[in-house]
Structure 1
């Protein structure tokens, strides 16, 4: 039973001295961490840095929102531009169909008009 107690006492005990040679004895020093007090300047610097960081985060978020809104408006304008171009193409095609000589001849015959070549003049600048 004494041996069990001896083993327990060795397991619980932490060695604080390290002996390398019989002449030298080296002791380990344990450092206890101490909390350092912050100066007024350091506190002010931390507060200003935190405020600046918060402002920069808000600026980044607001610029991302503005960018996405601008992209949405650009897409909307692009789709409107495509629609107007399609309408212009359709209207040009209708103008071409309405100005065709066969159509004009047909309308002229229905109205009792005729085409005489001696009344046609070519004008150039």
Structure 2
């Protein structure tokens, strides 16, 4: 039992020789001369047109956004100016309607106040 079974095995050399004798075809790929189909051309053209359209939309949207920001800044500046003007006018109204000023003008015109006819409302 010390024999190796590999020594007793008969190799089939005829099948191996027959398979190696057949000529194999070589496939040559030439990457420079691959034809482009109509579908591929159509896809390329449509993709290019879509890309150009998207670029145009992006630029126009950016311009519109910049214009809107500029208009917003102008409106905010006008609002701030009007609020400042309103504050100044309210202060002026308060100064013009003050009791001291009214009494001063009344004295200059020769008017006097009768305390019995005055009523303070709070």
- Taking structure 2 as the reference length, what is the TM-score of the superposition? 0.71
**Which sections of structure 1, spanning at least 5 residues, go unmatched?**
1-28
**Which sections of structure 2, spanning at least 5 residues, go unmatched?**
1-26
* Shift, 1:97, TM fit: 0.9
Where in structure 1 do 4 or more consecutive aligned residues deviate above 3 Å?
29-34, 121-124
Change (3 A) 1:112 1:94: same
Structure exhibiting the larger radius of gyration computed from Cα positions: 2
> Residue deviations 1:74-107, cap 9 Å, x none?
0000100110011011111111111111111110
- SS of equivalent residue, structure 2 residue 31: coil
> Residue deviations 1:54-93, cap 9 Å, x none?
0000000000000000000000001001100110111111
1:1-125 equivalent positions in 2, closer than 5 A: 32-121=30-119
Deviates more, 1:100-109 or 1:68-77: 100-109
Q: Distance in 2 between matches of 1:37 and 1:92?
A: 82
- Taking structure 1 as the reference length, what is the TM-score of the superposition? 0.70
* Structure ranking higher on relative contact order (CA contacts 8 Å, 6+ apart): 1
